[in-house]
């Protein structure tokens, strides 16, 4: 079952990247197991960027997403460059 979750999560991340690309936004997938975000997206000149966390759900999921109340809280992400 774990592989099914991984495949669904990967498919969701690639789908979001595809949709961003259609809007002339440049997406970059981050390494797996990044706890803060899955995708970094920027405009074509790099003047604006956003970190995106993708949530996916399989067809057989009857519980929905289990999200804490802090999911909408803006986080200060350290910049190392």
Supply the DSSP symbol for 62.
Answer: S
CB 54 within 8 A of CB 9: yes
The CA-based angle 23-31-69, given to 5 degrees, is 75
* Rounded-to-integer distance, Cα 66 and Cα 15, Å: 21
Q: What is the pLDDT of residues 19-43, one digit of tens each?
A: 999 999 999 999 988 888 999 999 9
pLDDT of res. 74: 66
CB 58 within 8 A of CB 7: no
Q: What is the pLDDT of residues 1-24, one digit of tens each?
A: 556 778 888 999 999 999 999 999
pLDDT of res. 21: 96
């Amino acid at each position: 079952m774990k592989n099914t979750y991984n495949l669904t999560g990967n498919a969701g991340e690639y789908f979001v990247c595809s949709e961003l690309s259609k809007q002339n936004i440049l997406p970059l997938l981050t390494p797996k197991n990044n706890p803060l975000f899955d995708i970094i997206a920027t405009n074509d000149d790099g003047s604006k960027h956003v970190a995106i966390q993708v949530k996916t759900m399989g067809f057989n999921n009857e519980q929905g997403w289990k999200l804490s109340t802090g999911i909408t809280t803006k986080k200060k992400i350290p910049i190392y460059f």
